[in-house]
Structure 1
Amino acid sequence: MVRCRPAERTGKAAHVGQRSDGTETERSRLKAERRSNLLDAAAELVAARGYHGLRLEDLGAAVGISGPAVYRHFPNKEAVLVELLVGVSEYLHRGGENAATEPDPAARVRALVGFHLTFALTSPRLIEIQFRDLANLPDDARHRVRSLQRAYVETWVRALRDLDPSRSEEDARIRAHAAFGLLNSTPHSVGRVPVPVLEQTLSTMSLTALGVGGSSAAAAATHPSEARTPS
């Protein structure tokens, strides 16, 4: 199963259940772990069945708990979808901002490609859900996702224009979306193509499309086995 990291996605779990000295209680640790497992299972189930095919009873069964026990973590399946899609949008936005701290423009673009490629290789189920089930989010959550997505795209646009100041904003945005199309193609390939081959190919193609060449293109991407990303 592709792993999901809810604390990294949402940033909400870090301080829950801590003692006054800052240490985490065993109970809160187990609760956070159970919630993480539920989200992992939800990503698999929603990707396979669609949002409307998700039942909380099946979600509980997937992690070995009763259906009613799921309600201790999520009030309904809409809340599960919100956690998945808003969370992953927050994760990508944070990662883009971190990559954008690279002072060298070429290194910045490589860092953005490497970050997104690692996400795409380790989280193909979330990409499927994003494409198919975004419309099923409540309005406020969908607007939050769209806002985060726009901010993430603009991080790429700025990096591309810093790389080539003569490039128009329109051209930079077209190139960024083209790179997303390449990188987000992993749901069609993960499990069918060896990961090193897929990593090399997508990295090289994306960097070439963005105007960054070099034979060491794939080195910009963190190997999925070394990454801790959502899924």
Structure 2
Amino acid sequence: MTAGPTAATRPRNRRQSIVGAAGQVFSERGYHGASMEDIAAAVGISAPALYRHFPNKYALFAACATVMADNLVEVIDGCPPDAASTDVLLALTRVTVAHRASGGLYRWEARYLQRADRHLLRAKFARVVGRVVELARREFPLPEEHLRAVAALGVIGSVTMHHTTIAQRRIEELVLASAMRVVATDPTATPGTAERVDLPTPPVPRTRRAEILAAAVPLFAREGFANVTNAQIAQAVGLAPSAIYRHYPGKVDILVAACLQAAGLLAQAVERSLHRATDPHEALVALAAAYVAHCFEHNTLNSVAEAEVASLPADVRRPLVVAQREHIAVWEQQVRTLRPELDRRQARLLVHAGFGVVVEAGRALRWQDTPGHRDAVTALVTRALVPG
């Protein structure tokens, strides 16, 4: 008796296929927005078959959240101790590009990991950072080697945070060149950029609606949108839970207001900075300085807007996506003015590389908002985009 078609064609790497598909679903919908049924459908198997490999959604999520770290550790372990920085960063770039559809899951959704799993994930990334720090110290003996290393890895990791379509070899070339420029840049060499930034002042919460928004944002950042209740928000403001509905129809409307506020403050900061620039290079530095200052000044608000946008229904998410595209288009224009050899997609890839620098460098600096930190990150962002 011969086996049926299902048995005959069952892949040997079923668990790997599940993790790959699940990582993409989690990345698109967030931890709470994804279900085991969604993941099973993405893999092409039944939900009971999925549970034979993973006992619950958390176990599958933990496997997905750590897969990129495992791949990166495997890469650095496979590189000879005397390997050049170009070879190591290229190897890290290639494995990241290969897993870009789900590789960015750790950036925002890792806060849902249990403490032990979160510590394990950090330890794996620390090994990768440590190797790049060694390379930076050996080949580019400049100040702040740790900051330069994490910023270079931010360039590489940025490919997991967007869907810009370019030939894989060209992605690798652009990302590697950008990461190499960053790791070879002295972030202390151009002080004073932070002093020229004129950030808009966020509105003072004078109304009850504004008070609710101001109280909800740090709760969303700390606990995750899905875990925060209206009762918690009401308690933070000193209201009865039912009173929230007089000001917002639902919790998702508070999140929408937070995302719109973040986008509005950023747009104002960019407009003010570019208005005073007198040449293309000064305009790019001003744009980078404004973006960096905004990220440090409004870190909590930005983290909510970035991490929770997947929690929004498609119809209310659309205006936010439009605002984001308009902001990126400003960057594209500035980059292409200085680098006319790049087309729009290539410039956009580098813009996201700059954003990746801010995310990872900011985290490494624990978002401690000082002029020196802003200047250092601005220098690294600028070098990620254009050669010196």
TM-score when scaled to structure 1?
0.70
Given the alignment of the two structures, is residue 123 of structure 1 paired with residue 320 of structure 2, yes or no? Answer: no
1:71 matched to which residue of 2?
245
Q: Which structure has more helix as a fraction of its residues?
A: 2
Tell me the SS of whatever aligns to 1:75. Answer: coil
Deviates more, 1:108-117 or 1:192-201: 192-201
Matches of 2:289 and 2:226, distance apart in 1:
33
Matches of 1:189 and 1:63, distance apart in 2:
32
Residues 1:94 and 1:140: Cα distance change in structure 2 (over 3 Å): farther
Contact persistence 1:85–1:145 (CA under 8 A) = yes
Matches of 2:368 and 2:261, distance apart in 1:
28
Once the two structures are superposed, what CA deviation does each residue of 1:172-223 show, in whole Å capped at 9, x if it has no partner? 212211111112336624647563443232111111112275xxxxxxxxxx
Given the alignment of the two structures, is residue 207 of structure 1 paired with residue 374 of structure 2, yes or no? Answer: no
Given the alignment of the two structures, is residue 165 of structure 1 paired with residue 362 of structure 2, yes or no? Answer: no
TM-score when scaled to structure 2?
0.43
Given the alignment of the two structures, is residue 188 of structure 1 paired with residue 363 of structure 2, yes or no? Answer: yes
Residues 1:90 and 1:210: Cα distance change in structure 2 (over 3 Å): same
1:44 matched to which residue of 2?
218
Once the two structures are superposed, what CA deviation does each residue of 1:107-153 show, in whole Å capped at 9, x if it has no partner? 21112111111111012223322332111112222111111111111
Residues 1:166 and 1:151: Cα distance change in structure 2 (over 3 Å): same
Matches of 1:199 and 1:206, distance apart in 2:
10
Using the aligned pairs only, state the percent identity: 26
Once the two structures are superposed, what CA deviation does each residue of 1:64-123 show, in whole Å capped at 9, x if it has no partner? 333233223212101001101133223333443444443421121112111111111012
Q: Return the index of the structure with the highest Cα Rg.
A: 2
Matches of 1:191 and 1:149, distance apart in 2:
25
Contact persistence 2:234–2:244 (CA under 8 A) = yes
Q: How does 1:1-231 map to 2 (within 5 A)?
A: 5=202, 30-31=206-207, 34-101=208-275, 102-185=277-360, 188-189=363-364, 191=366, 193=368, 195-211=370-386
- For structure 2, list consecutive stretches of 5 or more residues without a partner in the other structure: 1-200
Contact persistence 1:6–1:87 (CA under 8 A) = no
- For structure 1, list consecutive stretches of 5 or more residues without a partner in the other structure: 8-28, 214-231
Contact persistence 1:100–1:155 (CA under 8 A) = no
Contact persistence 2:220–2:304 (CA under 8 A) = yes
Tell me the SS of whatever aligns to 1:202. Answer: helix
